[in-house]
């Protein structure tokens, strides 16, 4: 039974790593952009109706590196398919624990 507990811990770690990847990727895009908005506001070149802290970043066309774009695509995939992927990870880890189950030794031989 302990192997199933270990399998659930491993599944939890995999899921947490996926969530951390999504969060870190979103922050990699958002932080530099918000800093640029704050700098523009401080310089007086940002329209008054745009607040750097609450602006929806979807409303701006921002160029990002191909590497960051690839990471964003993976992050969006993880977000869109999160429920199915979480189920697959949990079932996969439990399935591996089941396959690795020790086989009983035949005493009659």
Q: What is the pLDDT of residue 99?
A: 93
pLDDT of 62-71, one tens digit each? Answer: 788 899 999 9
pLDDT of 90-108, one tens digit each? Answer: 999 999 999 998 777 666 6
Q: Own/partner pairs for 16-22, CB < 8 Å, 24+ apart? A: 18/78, 18/85, 21/74, 21/75, 21/78, 22/75, 22/78, 22/79
What is the pTM (predicted TM-score) of this model?
0.78
């Amino acid at each position: 039974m302990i192997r199933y507990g270990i399998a659930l811990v491993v599944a939890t770690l995999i899921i947490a790593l996926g969530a951390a990847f999504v969060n870190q990727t979103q922050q990699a895009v958002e932080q530099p952009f918000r800093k640029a908005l704050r700098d523009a506001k401080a310089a007086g070149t940002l329209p008054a109706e745009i607040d750097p802290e609450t602006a929806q970043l979807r409303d701006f066309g921002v160029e990002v590196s191909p590497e960051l774009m690839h990471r964003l695509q993976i992050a969006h995939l993880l977000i869109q398919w999160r429920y199915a992927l979480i189920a697959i990870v949990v079932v996969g880890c439990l399935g591996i624990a089941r396959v690795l189950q020790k086989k009983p030794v035949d005493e009659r031989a």
